[in-house]
Chain A
Amino acid sequence: MSARDQNAALDGPDRDDIDPDVAEFLRECDQASGDVSADDLQSLLSSMESQLTQSESGTGGWLKSRSTGTRRALSFGSFLALAGLALLRMRGRGVADLPAWAVGVCLGSLGVLIALSLWTALRPLQAPALSHGKVGALALLSVGCAVIVAFVPGLAQTSAAGAAHAAAPCMYAGLLFGLPVYALARVLDRGPRLSSILAASAAGLTGNFILALDCPNHGREHMLVGHASVVLIFLLGVFAVHAVESRLRRRG
């Protein structure tokens, strides 16, 4: 690009600066797209009005139409309710004998990522579209955080061989705790399916958060196989559903 072009690019073109022939093309295109008949509008409106009335007849439709602030509060509230319930029942036995700073780092980073995932997933429709890059980065960060927690000195311990044997119950419990958060986030979501990836991240991290609070086994292998895997399973599950949906749509 020449220096002149660079300057023009930085200033941005005025409508008058655009090549007159290209402008003519654009104007023609605009005019050609402008044929909107009254029947077109009427039929669009009629078929839509019944859909609009039906759309809020169920609980799901009603929840989706709440304001974005309310939807975000509800979804984050579901996480807090589950964490509170687990804390009451197990009395935080997973963190009782750990240094406060390690607990803060672990629960703080998981909590921030859960909030960020839910916040981004339940964005308002009039906001610019989510990019694949941002969603992918957040999902990777979620998996990364769950894995790193298993390597924080003071929080995780090197365990003897075979210490991962009790991982399955933790994994199931993590998936079970994550499911309500995922389900509610999907019910509250109005946007494209890309946000289901973020809902899955939040659900997996919720499972992780509760396991970190309640599970007294701090063996590294156990934390990797039993806790961190919850995020990965949720994400892989959502990717699998997306792949099946795409295939079915192509066939349809």
Chain B
Amino acid sequence: MTAHSTSASAISPGALLASAAMAAKHTTQDPTDEELMRRYVEGDAAAFRSLFERYGPILLRLTRRHLRDEELAREIVQQTFFQLHRARNDFRQDSRLRPWVLTIAMNLVREHWRRQKRRKMSELDETRHAAPEPLRSPMEANQRVQQLREAMSKLPESQRVVVELHWFQERPFAEVAKLVGSTEGAVRVRAHRAYKKLEEWLGAEIRP
């Protein structure tokens, strides 16, 4: 961190929230993500804060969707930025930042699921009892979200990642393929199967 950066306490919560709300749709006057990353690599800590304000909410929503534990979701967001910080010297001028950040976050989520899967083999689903309810929505909406999360968690990991990137992050298939290290055709097939399964599993809830 450089000395010329402003301290974290100098940013008011209101200003942070406003920046977060603008995260996905910053205007043309704002520096691009790549520009901010370039500045951060050069040592501008304020650029890191701007990146955090843009990507923090996106990542927190992503991790909350995949993990039923608010604390864990926050921890993975922090780890993602920590990893981004460590990998900053790998960032090339012609790279795009968004796929970078999403891949790091999805890799961390995947790593968590792997560990969880191993744990479940020896201890029967202890996490379901321990997982706190992170959402504060009305009960019915909450139930529907829980149903979707149940259904999502039943999807194979490879399909779940594709749904996250294709639906929630609105990435085109070509980019999803790059992010998961597969071919576009294979990713399309995975997406098709995943949405079919969701339709089948959620069908009973949607059309009783």
Contact = CB atoms under 8 A, between A and B. Distances in A.
Contacts of B148: 25-26, 28-29
B132 to A, nearest CB: 15
A29 B66 CA distance: 11
B57 to A, nearest CB: 4
Contacts of A41: 13, 16-17, 20, 52-53, 56-57
Interface string B112-149: 00010011001100000000000111000110110111
A97 interface: no
25 contacts: A5-B192, A5-B196, A11-B188, A12-B189, A21-B199, A21-B203, A21-B207, A25-B206, A29-B65, A29-B148, A30-B61, A32-B142, A36-B20, A38-B13, A44-B56, A44-B74, A45-B56, A51-B78, A64-B86, A65-B85, A70-B89, A125-B107, A126-B87, A127-B103, A127-B181
A48 B82 contact: yes
Contact of B188 (A12, A30, A68): A12
Given A34-B57, A42-B13, 18 more contacts: A5-B192, A9-B188, A10-B188, A11-B192, A12-B189, A12-B191, A22-B202, A25-B148, A28-B148, A41-B52, A44-B78, A45-B8, A48-B78, A49-B8, A52-B82, A129-B110, A190-B87, A250-B119
B198 interface: yes
Given A11-B188, A29-B149, A33-B65, A49 B78 contact: no
Interface string B152-192: 00000000000000111010010000011110110111011
Given A21-B206, A127-B103, A26 B168 contact: yes
A133 interface: no
Contacts of B142: 32
Contacts of B62: 33
Contact of A128 (B90, B103, B141, B145): B103
Given A13-B195, A67-B89, A45 B145 contact: no
A51 B11 CA distance: 19
Nearest to B13: A38
B17 A128 contact: no
B56 to A, nearest CB: 5
A252 B135 CA distance: 27
A26 B17 contact: no
Contacts of A25: 144, 147-148, 198, 202, 206
Contact of A42 (B8, B99, B136, B170): B8
Contacts of A9: 188-189, 192-193
Contacts of A18: 167, 195, 199
Nearest to A27: B167
Interface in A119-172: 124-129
Interface in B1-57: 1, 8-9, 11, 13-14, 16-17, 20, 48-49, 52-53, 56-57
Interface string B85-118: 1111110000000011001101100110001001
Contact of A45 (B52, B182, B192): B52
Contacts of A70: 89
4 tightest A-B contacts by CB? A12-B188, A128-B181, A38-B17, A38-B13
B78 A126 contact: no
A6 B118 CA distance: 34
Contacts of B89: 65-67, 70
A100 to B, nearest CB: 39
A128 B103 CA distance: 7
A212 to B, nearest CB: 34
Given A32-B145, A39-B13, A124 B60 contact: no
Interface string B54-78: 0011001110110000000010011
A240 B144 CA distance: 43
A42 B206 contact: no
Contacts of A30: 61, 65, 168
Contacts of B203: 21
B111 A192 contact: yes
Nearest to B182: A128
B136 A38 contact: no
A89 interface: no
